[in-house]
C-alpha cells in the first residue's frame, strides 16, 4: 500500500539489521518521508549509504531513496 513505507520498514527491522539488504523505496507520499526513512535506516544500520533521487512535482519532495552498505 502506498504511504505505509515506514510501517513496512519497522516490521522488517530485524531482517534489515541482520542482512543489510540493498533498499530502493519511494518517498514522495509525505514530504518528510525521505528524512524519516533515512533516519530510521541509519539508526538500525549505521553503515548504510543513502542517496535520494528525483523531486515530486507538486510537493518538491524526493521521489526515491536508495540505501546500501558499501
Measured over the CA atoms of residue 26, residue 46, residue 39 and residue 60, the dihedral's sign is negative
27-58 confidence digits (pLDDT tens): 988 878 899 999 999 999 999 999 998 877 67
pLDDT confidence bin for 7, thresholds 50/70/90: very high
Q: Which residue range forms the structural domain that includes residue 10?
A: 5-69
Q: What percent of the chain has pLDDT over 70?
A: 94
Measured from the Cβ of residue 56, the count of other Cβ atoms closer than 10 Å reads 16
Tally of structural domains, the chain = 1
pTM for the full model?
A: 0.87
CATH code of the domain in which 54 resides: 3.40.50.150
Average pLDDT of the chain is 91
CB burial of 23-52 (b: ≥16 within 10 Å; e: otherwise) equals bebbbbeeeebbeebbebbeebbeebeeeb
Amino acid at each position: 500500500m502506498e504511504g505505509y513505507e515506514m510501517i513496512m520498514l519497522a516490521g522488517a527491522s530485524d531482517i534489515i539489521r541482520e542482512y543489510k539488504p540493498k533498499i530502493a523505496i519511494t518517498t514522495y507520499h509525505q514530504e518528510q518521508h525521505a528524512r524519516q526513512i533515512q533516519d530510521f535506516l541509519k539508526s538500525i544500520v549505521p553503515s548504510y549509504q543513502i542517496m535520494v533521487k528525483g523531486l515530486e512535482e507538486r510537493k518538491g519532495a524526493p521521489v526515491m531513496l536508495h540505501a546500501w552498505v558499501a
